[in-house]
Amino acid sequence: MNHIVLPELKKLIFKNVDCKNKVEHLILEKDTVDFTWVESNRSYDVIQVQSINILITSNKNFETSAFDYVIHSNLKFSQSNFSQGKVQLKGWIKHPSFRDYSNSEIIGSWVNNFNFKEENPATNSYGLREPQIAALYAILSHLKSKDDVIGTVVMPTGTGKTETMLSTLIANKLNKIIIAVPSDALREQIYEKFIKLGLLKKFGIVSNDVLYPRVGIWYENFKKSEDLNNFVDSSDVIVTTMNVLTNNHGEILDEINEKISNIFIDEAHHVEADTWKKVSNAFAKQKILQFTATPFRNDRKRLDGKIIYSFSLKKAQEQGYFKPIHFKSIREYDQKKADELIAHQAVEILKEDLSKGLDHILMARCADKTRANEVFEYYKQFTELNPVLVYSGIPKKKEILEAIVKKEHKIIVAVNMLGEGFDLPQLKIAAFHDIRKSLPITLQFAGRFTRTSIDSTLGNATFIANIAIAETEEELSELYAQDSDWNLLLSNLSSGQINEQIDLGDFIKGFQNLENSKIPFQNIRFALSTVVFKNIGNSFNLSRFKKGIKGYDDLEYKFYDINNDANTAVIITASKSEIEWVNYKEVYGLDWTLYVIYYDEINKLLFIHSSDKSSLYHELANAVLYKNATLIEKLDVFKSFYEIKRVSLQNVGLKEYLNRKIRFSMKVGTDIQDALSIAEQQRGEKAFVFGTGYIEGEKITLGCSYKGRIWSYLKNDIKEFIKWCNAIGGKLINPSIDPNQILKHTLIPESISKLPDIQPIYIDWSDSFYLNTEFKMNIRDEKDETNIAFCELKLISYDLINGISFEISTPSKSYKFNKLLLDVTSPNGNSIPDFNISKADSENAQIKIGNKIYSLEDYLNSNPPIVWFADGSSLQGNEFVEIKSVIRPYPIEALIPWSWVGVDLSKEAQGVNPIQIDSIQYKTLQVLEQQDFDIIYDDDFSGEIADIITIKETTDSIDVQFYHLKFAKDGLVSARVDNFYEVCGQAQKSIHWKHKSGLEFFQHLLRREEKKKNGFSRSRIEKGSKEDLERLLRIAKNHKPMNFEVFIVQPSLSKQATTSSIMTLLGVTENYLREVADIDLRVIVNE
C-alpha cells in the first residue's frame, strides 16, 4: 500500500494590502493516508483515498467539473516520479469544504464535543494533565460566576498553559477572544497553536467534528477603523502583542471590548503597570483572564486580579514537571574576570553533561546587546560547540533561531530571551552574566521536564551566577519571596566560595518540613531579641515546644520545623482576632507570631525569640528543658554589655525606691548620669538600659531588661540570630564578669556652660551629617555652589572666654562661624546650659542635601559639629563627653623611623606647579611608589580624606591606606606636642570612610581627580589610571570587602627623643581608631 501526505486546507479570510495583519482558517490539517492509483494521463493523475477520487495535476490553473477534489503538485504524479520521491503536493485547488464558515457554525461544532480526558502515563494514554484539568475547572467556574473581577491562572513553565487556554476556548464555547502576548516570538507560536488547536484533536480531547477557529494575527495597527472592524468580525481568535493592542486609542479599545467575549493575557508578568492599567480600564474585568508562570510582574509588584488557580512549583516537581536545579556559584568582583569564569564553569559543566550522553544546551543570559557581544568573546573559542549570538535586530536572526531549534548550536548567548515563546527543553545550563529580573522564569524554563521520550537524554539543570554581585543576592531573596517552593527546587553546588545567602541556604536545608511552610525561611528577618534560660538539668527536646504554647492545637494556622544539627526550632502560628468595626464571625484578622528557639549545648543555654513580646516564655522553656529552666535575669543580663567599646546609653529605665513606694522613670541624654548614680547608691535599680557601642569597629545597638529580655535594633535572619545568641551566651554565664562594673566606663553627656580647659585637636561634622552620601551635599551662596567633597570643616580658634571659631572652606572662599556656650533661664527660674552658633561674616550660606535646602547657620545649630580634644573627650553643642577609661600611650617601639635627608620639614605639600620636590608629601610619594600598589592618589587640599591614599586589590579585598602628613613647626625636629594635634585629628576624622560604601569612596576620588591650584592643574593619580579607579568603583559596587589602615607622617619627631605627652596623644588616636573602626594606626617619624 502506498502512503501520501495530503496538504492542509487553509483559507485566507482577511488580508489588508496596507499591512501584514491577516485572518486564516484551517479547515483540514495535513493527513497521511493510504492510496491507490486509479487513472493516469498526460494532464493529470487520479488516486483513490477512502473511496474518494482525488485528481492531482501540476497545472495550478486546472479546472474541472468532474472532480470535487483537486490537488496542485510540482511534477506529474506518475508512479516513477512518486517512487523517486520527486513529487510534492503543494496545495488544494478544489475541495468541497473550501468555503466560508460563520462564527455561529464554528462555535456550534464545539457543542458537546469537548472531552475532559486525563492522561494516564502508565498506559501511554494521552490527554490533559492534572494541572490543566484543575485549571480548566477553575476557569469555567470563574467564567460562569460572572464576577466583576480579573481571573489569574498561575501555572509554572512547562505545565501546559497553552493547551489550557485552548481547552478554555472550546469547553466554554467562547464566542470571540483576543490573546495578548509580550513578544513577537510568542505571538507566532500562539498563533500556530490556535490555528491547529494544539494537541486537542491528536489527544482526543476534542472530536474530529470540531471546526478550527478562524485566527487573526495582528502585527500592526490599522489605518482605517473599518478595516479593524472587518478584521475583528472575521476572527474567532485574535493573537497580538500587548504593545500593539495598547497603542490604540481608548475609543477603539472600547469598540473591541464590545465585540469580544474574552481577552487572555499570556505571560502576564511581563505587563508593565501603565500598560496593564490601560487594558484593565478598556475591557470589562470579567472578560480578562491572565495566564502566568509567576503572580509577580517583572517590576516585582503582584499582578492585579484574583488568583483563581495556582499550580505550585512543589506539585510540579512531585508530578515530574520539574527536577531540582543545581546552583553553581562563583565569587568575582571584577566583571570581566567574572564573565570569563562563568563562561568556563558553564562550558565545563556542558562538556561533562555531554560526556554522559545528555543532550544539553547552554544558554548565557545577558542584559543587552553590548553585554552580549562582550560575553560572546569568552564563548567563541569553543568552536567544537558551535556557539552562536542571538538578539533582536541581529542579522539573519530567523536562520539563527531555526538552527537553534535544530540543535546545531550547543552554546547560545542571548539577550533576555529564549524563555517564553521558545520551546527548547534541551536548554539545561543557564549562565547568568546579568541576572536582574530574569531568575524565576529562566529557572522554571531550565528546570522543566517534558515528560516525553526525550527526557531520557535530559538531566538536571544547572545555573551559574556570580554571588559577588549585589544583584545576585537581591534576586535570590526575591526568588524566595515570590515562592517558598524554590527551597525545594534549588540545590547549592557552591565551590567553597560561599556568601551569607548561600551559607544560609545550607543551614536551612537542615530543616525537614520546608515544603509545608507557606513562608520562605530565607526571607524571615526579624529584630534580634531573646530571653535566655539556663538548663539546670541535662536533657532538652525541642519537639516538646507544643506543651509550652497555650492553645497550640486550636490555633488557626501553625507550622513548625526543627533543624536537629543546629538545635534550632522555628514555629509560625496565627490566631484569629476580632475586627473592631464589624461584629461578624466570617470577617476576622489573623495575628501572626514567629518563635525561634535555639539550644546551646556547650553552655546549656536555651534562647527563645518571639515576635510577641508579651511573655518571658517560662512555660515554653520548661517544656523544652523538662522543667529545669532558670531564667537569666536581673543584673546578670547587663553582662551583655561586656567588651562593647565606647558604650553610649540612649536611655535608662529606673526603678527608684522612695520609702515604701516604687517610682518608675526613664532617663535620656544628660539625665542618664543621675540614673546610674541612683542605681550605684542602691536607692534604685536599672529596669532597662539601651545604648550603642562598637564591636570590632562596627557600630551596634543593645538593650537589656532587668526582667530578662535582651534585644537589638539589628534585623537579621535565623542563622545570624544564632551567631548573635552565641556571642551573648558566653558572657551571661561568665562568673568573672561583674555586672555592676560593666557600665562604669559608659560615655555619658554632661551639659556644660563653660568650655573645658583641654587642648582641642580638630572639629568634625555631626554623626547625622555622615548619614548622607557625599555627592548629594553642596555648600552654596548667591554666587557659588560647591560639592561637599571639595569643602573642609576647620577649627580656627578655641578660647575659654570668647568661645570657638571655625570655618567651612571651599576652593574659592570660606564661611566663618562662632560658637558660644551660655546659660539660659527656664520658665521656673533655673539656669540651663545651652549653646549658639552664629555666622561671623556677611555670607548667607546654605547647605543643600538632596532636594532640601537649609540655612547653613540653622543646619549647624540643629546638627552641631563635634570638637574633639587631645584626651579623647568631645563636645557637641553644649554636651561634653569625657573618656573614663585609662588609655595607654602609643608604644615607642611601634614608631617607624625614616630618613628625611634633603627634605624641608617646613614644607608639607608638593603643590601643583611647580612640584615641591623637597616637600614631605613628595618624599612620601617617592617611597610609596617603590611598593606594590595599584593606585597612589594625592588627595591633598580642602575636602581631603587624607594627604595620600594608596589602594591595592587582592583576591579577597581592596586594601586602602590613608597617609596624613604634617609639617614641622619652624621646620625643626623637636618634641613639640602641638606638631601632632592637627594630624591626629585628621587621622581620627578619616575613619568615617570605613563606615561609608566603597562606591562613595571611589566616587570621591573620581570627582576630585583633577587637582587645581593657582591657575594650574594636574591629575591627583600618581600611580595607576582613571580607568583603574573606575574599574575599582564597579568592583566596590558589588560590596567587595575593603580593609583600611591609617598612617600619621610627622618627621618633626625623632624616635630617639619622644615625650609622654606626644605618645599619650598618639595613644588616644590609636584607641579611637581601633574601637570605633577596628583600624590600626601606624606612625612614621624621623630617625
Q: Residue 932: how many CA atoms within 13 Å on its side-chain side? A: 3
Summarize the confidence of residues 630-649 as an average pLDDT.
90
CB atoms within 10 A of CB 408: 11
Q: d(Cα 894, Cα 574) in Å, to the nearest integer?
A: 60
| CB-based burial label for 374 (10 Å; 0-12, 13-18, 19+) | middle
| % of the chain surpassing 70 pLDDT | 87
Dihedral sign for Cα atoms in the order 388, 389, 392, 393:
negative
Mean pLDDT of 608-619: 93
Q: What is the DSSP letter of 88?
A: -
pTM: 0.65
Looking at residue 634, what is its pLDDT?
87
Characterize 572-587 residue by residue with b for buried, 16 or more Cβ atoms within 10 angstroms of its Cβ, and e for exposed: bbbbeeeeeeeeeeee
Joined together, the cell numbers standing for residue 475 give 534576586
Q: What's the chain's average pLDDT?
A: 87
Please check the confidence at residue 421 and state whether its pLDDT lies above 80.
no
Which three cell numbers, joined as nine digits, stand for 810?
571651599
pLDDT of 770-826, one tens digit each? Answer: 988 888 899 999 889 999 999 999 999 999 999 999 999 999 899 999 999 988 877
Reference 209, options 117, 111, 119, 104; nearest CA is 111
CA-wise closest residue to 52 among 95, 9, 87, 91: 95
The model's pLDDT over 696-754, given as tens digits with 9 standing for 90+, comes to 888 899 999 988 999 998 888 898 999 999 999 999 999 999 887 777 777 778 899 99
Kindly indicate the confidence band of residue 448, based on its pLDDT and cuts at 50, 70 and 90.
low
Alpha-carbon gap, residue 704 to 649, rounded angstroms: 11
Compute φ and ψ for 741, nearest 5 degrees. Answer: -95, -15
Q: State the Cα angle at 923 between 922 and 926, rounded to 5°.
A: 85
Q: Do 323 and 317 contact (CB within 8 A), yes or no?
A: yes
Res 954: pLDDT: 92
Look at residue 674 in the predicted model and tell me its pLDDT. 56
Q: Are strands 698-705 and 684-695 parallel, antiparallel or unpaired?
A: antiparallel
Query: Measured between alpha carbons, how far is 321 from 446 in angstroms, rounded to an integer?
Result: 11
Q: Are strands 526-535 and 709-716 parallel, antiparallel or unpaired?
A: antiparallel
Question: Which string of DSSP letters, residue by residue, matches 452-507?
Answer: SGGGGG---EEEEEETTSHHHHHHHHHHHHH-TTHHHHEEE---S---HHHHHHHH
Find out whether 513 and 335 touch, Cβ atoms under 8 Å.
Answer: no
Q: How does residue 491 score in pLDDT terms, banded at 50, 70 and 90?
A: very low
Length of the chain (residues): 1087
Looking at the DSSP bridge assignments, the partners of residue 330 are 466
Query: For the ranges 81-95, 251-265, 432-446, which has the lowest average pLDDT?
Result: 432-446
User: What is the grid cell recorded at 235?
Assistant: 476572527
Chain position carrying cell 559596587: 1037
pLDDT band at 575 (very low <50, low <70, confident <90, very high): confident
- Quick one: the chain helix, strand, coil %, rounded to 5? 30, 30, 35
Looking at per-residue pLDDT, the higher value among 999 and 626 belongs to 626
Helices (H) and strands (E) in the chain, counts: 26, 55
Q: Which of 784, 871, 875 is nearest to 837 (CA)?
A: 875
> What was the pLDDT predicted at 676?
58
Could you give the count of Cα atoms lying within 13 Å of 199 in the half-sphere of its Cβ? 13
Residue 313: strand, helix, or coil: helix
Judged against a pLDDT cut of 50, whether residue 592 lies above it is answered with yes
For 882, other C-beta atoms within 10 Å of its C-beta total 16
Burial (0-12, 13-18, 19+ Cβ within 10 Å), 1013: middle
More confident residue, 100 or 667: 100
Q: How far apart are CA 342 and CA 433, in angstroms?
A: 7
Peptide bond preceding 756 in cis form (omega within 30 of 0)? no
Show the CA angle centred on residue 830, arms to residues 827 and 834, nearest 5°: 90
- Whether residue 975 contacts residue 1062, with contact meaning beta carbons closer than 8 Å, is answered with yes
Q: What are the cell numbers at 557?
A: 494556622
User: Which cell goes with 755?
Assistant: 568650655
Of 795, 794, 811, residue with least CA distance to 803: 795
Helix residue spans in 263-379 (DSSP H) = 273-282, 313-318, 335-355, 369-379
Judged by DSSP in three states, 224 sits in coil
Return the HEC string of 15-79: ECCCCCCEEEEEEECCEEEEEEEEEECCCCEEEEECCEEEEEECCCCCCCCCCCCEEEECCCCCH
Beta-carbon count within 10 A of 106 CB: 18
Phi and psi at 377, nearest 5°, equal -60, -30
pLDDT confidence of 196, banded at 50, 70, 90? very high
Output the pLDDT for position 635.
Answer: 86
* Count of CB atoms situated within 10 Å of the CB of 41: 8
Report residue 493's pLDDT band, with 50, 70 and 90 as the boundaries.
very low
Q: What is the pLDDT of residue 434?
A: 83
Helix pair angle (161-171, 184-195), 10° resolution? 50
In this prediction, residues 396-404 reach a mean pLDDT of 87
Q: 162, 158, 184, 182: which is closest to 446 by C-alpha?
A: 158
Angle in degrees, 0-180, between the axes of helices 470-482 and 500-508, rounded to the nearest 10: 30
> What pLDDT, in 10s, does the model give residues 665-678?
565 655 565 555 55
Q: Is 481 left (phi over 0), alpha (psi -120 to 50) or beta?
A: alpha
